[in-house]
């Protein structure tokens, strides 16, 4: 087989006809597939089924607290301990929220605007301009929060060992740069993890803004699907070493451990930030759902219980990532028109198609009934300067559907490349 990248015009035209026929077949078949979101599949949900009957007859009185009544704003002590063990931080640095860490992130930024952060001179709503560093490609929902609050986003590329620190150290000299989004482990969507060196550099930043906010979304902290658990540095104590203890808020949840949108979430931060935030949050809520905290504690039993559960989830995810990566390897790799990462954890495969074809690929997919994250969504303002990046989320569809989705996607990747080369 000749590769697309070295075909002449006639060969391209002939391949185009062939691919177009294949594509039309998908359209005709009325395909309806979805690889758009990092949404766990039913084969993952079923692994948490025991949680659905909890706490059952177990006592709701735990840690000296009645979990079925009001009280204990920061969450059950055992739940704080559980997340502290996951994140490598201290229980007193952990605040347990509701079912969504996204809500805790939105709320943190919202409070920065309405009340200001611990070291803010005034609430951000009273500033002329607020800018955030956004590592790209990144998580579209982070960027959507920024847009919603009118925060100007500055893209900084993710290199192989973490975000480009040279650019960042330059950008943070601007006092208007107030914060930064990071997904440090199995980053969304590249699946890369920041090296210890880069984590330490981030912790040592000296931003001009005294209330700089490092948003550390550790969504995939224990989400290996291949190989053993990979340890990571505790960002809070790293920041502390450099006098930056109050710079960082870390986030995590069980959304991709038990039930998406029905799990428990947390933020972790310095004790000073905790005291400051609790004062504001105490006006917002009396206490978050402690019964759901209890459910999770009873379900996992202990840290080993969580890690064993993650192994089971990983075993479900691995074959799905294999399908994606094998399809790309077989169908696309020989043509030298795209590249991608090979993650060992997280929820995504980042695909870099031929420059100038990502939008076309995502349109082709959509028209044929395959829902894929829209091209550009992983960049602020939907602006992928190369129009190259696509995010593949393999978790939701059953294996057969995923194979079908990848056949269609690979067809579209090639078709768009051929069209592009034909000009």
Strands 248-253 and 213-217: parallel
Whichever of 194 and 259 has its CB closer to a second copy, that residue is 259
Whichever of 93 and 101 has its CB closer to a second copy, that residue is 101
> Crossing angle for the helix pair 303-327 and 399-422, nearest 10 degrees?
40
3-state SS track over 364-384 = HHHHCCEECCCCCCCCHHHCC
Whichever of 51 and 364 has its CB closer to a second copy, that residue is 51
Structure tokens at 140: 């579209």
Q: Nearest approach, Cβ of 381 to a second copy (angstroms)?
A: 15
Laid out side by side, the sheet with 349-352 consists of 339-340, 349-352, 389-392
Whichever of 14 and 69 has its CB closer to a second copy, that residue is 69
CA distance 123 to 270: 20
Q: Nearest approach, Cβ of 309 to a second copy (angstroms)?
A: 15
The alpha carbon torsion through 305, 306, 307, 308 (nearest 10 deg) reads: 50
**What residue has token string 């766990």?**
40
Whichever of 55 and 376 has its CB closer to a second copy, that residue is 55
CA distance 155 to 285: 35
Q: Nearest approach, Cβ of 271 to a second copy (angstroms)?
A: 21
Whichever of 275 and 280 has its CB closer to a second copy, that residue is 280
Structure tokens at 141: 């929902």
Q: Nearest approach, Cβ of 404 to a second copy (angstroms)?
A: 21
Task: Report the interface residues with a second copy, using CB under 8 A.
Answer: 37, 39-40, 42, 45, 52-57, 60, 66-71, 98-100, 102-103, 106-107, 110, 113-115, 123, 125-126, 141, 144-145, 147-149, 255, 259-262, 280, 283-292
Q: Nearest approach, Cβ of 371 to a second copy (angstroms)?
A: 13
Structure tokens at 151: 């925060």
Whichever of 55 and 155 has its CB closer to a second copy, that residue is 55
Whichever of 54 and 167 has its CB closer to a second copy, that residue is 54
CB 334 within 8 A of CB 1: yes
CB 117 within 8 A of CB 213: yes
Whichever of 88 and 123 has its CB closer to a second copy, that residue is 123
Q: Nearest approach, Cβ of 372 to a second copy (angstroms)?
A: 17
Q: Nearest approach, Cβ of 258 to a second copy (angstroms)?
A: 9
**What residue has token string 């500055």?**
154
Q: Nearest approach, Cβ of 97 to a second copy (angstroms)?
A: 9
What φ, ψ does residue 266 adopt, rounded to 5°? -150, 160
Compute the radius of gyration of the chain from its Cα atoms. 23
Residue 73's Cβ-count burial label (10 Å; 0-12, 13-18, 19+) is middle
Q: Nearest approach, Cβ of 101 to a second copy (angstroms)?
A: 10
| Selection from 45, 17, 7 nearest residue 255 by Cα | 45
Whichever of 125 and 403 has its CB closer to a second copy, that residue is 125
CA distance 394 to 376: 19
Q: Nearest approach, Cβ of 284 to a second copy (angstroms)?
A: 4
Residue 156's Cβ-count burial label (10 Å; 0-12, 13-18, 19+) is buried
């Amino acid at each position: 087989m000749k590769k697309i990248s070295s075909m002449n015009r006639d060969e391209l035209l002939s391949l185009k006809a062939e691919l177009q026929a294949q594509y039309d077949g998908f359209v005709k078949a009325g395909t309806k597939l979805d690889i758009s979101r990092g949404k766990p599949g039913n084969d993952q949900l079923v692994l948490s089924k025991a949680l659905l009957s909890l706490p059952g007859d177990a006592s709701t009185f735990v840690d000296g607290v009645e979990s079925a009544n009001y009280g204990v704003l920061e969450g059950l002590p055992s739940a704080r301990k559980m997340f502290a063990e996951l994140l490598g931080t201290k229980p007193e640095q952990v605040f347990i929220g509701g079912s969504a860490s996204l809500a805790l992130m939105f709320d943190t930024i919202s409070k920065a605007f309405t009340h200001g952060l611990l070291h803010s001179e005034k609430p951000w709503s009273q500033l002329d301009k607020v800018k955030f560093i956004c590592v790209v490609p990144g998580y579209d929902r982070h960027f959507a929060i920024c847009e919603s609050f009118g925060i100007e986003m500055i893209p900084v590329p993710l290199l192989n060992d973490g975000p480009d620190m040279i650019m960042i150290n330059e950008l943070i000299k601007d006092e208007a740069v107030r914060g930064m989004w990071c997904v440090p482990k199995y980053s969304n969507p590249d699946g890369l993890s920041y090296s210890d060196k880069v984590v330490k550099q981030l912790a040592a930043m000296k931003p001009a803004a005294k209330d700089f906010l490092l948003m550390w979304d550790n969504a995939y902290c224990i989400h290996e699907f291949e190989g053993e658990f990979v340890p990571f540095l505790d960002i809070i104590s790293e920041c502390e070493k450099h006098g930056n203890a109050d710079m960082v808020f870390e986030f995590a949840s069980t959304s991709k451990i038990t039930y998406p949108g029905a799990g428990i979430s947390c933020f972790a931060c310095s004790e000073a930030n905790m005291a400051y935030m609790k004062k504001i949050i105490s006006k917002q809520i009396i206490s978050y759902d402690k019964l759901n905290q209890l459910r999770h504690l009873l379900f996992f039993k202990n840290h080993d219980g969580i890690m064993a559960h993650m192994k089971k989830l990983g075993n479900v995810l691995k074959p799905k990532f294999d399908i994606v990566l094998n399809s790309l390897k077989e169908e696309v790799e020989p043509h030298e028109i795209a590249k991608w990462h090979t993650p060992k954890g997280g929820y995504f495969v980042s695909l870099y198609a031929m420059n100038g074809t990502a939008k076309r690929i995502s349109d082709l997919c959509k028209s044929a009934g395959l829902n894929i994250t829209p091209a550009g969504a992983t960049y602020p303002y939907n602006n992928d300067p190369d129009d190259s990046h696509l995010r593949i989320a393999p978790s939701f569809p059953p294996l057969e559907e995923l194979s079908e989705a990848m056949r269609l996607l690979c067809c579209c990747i090639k078709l768009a490349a051929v069209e592009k080369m034909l000009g």
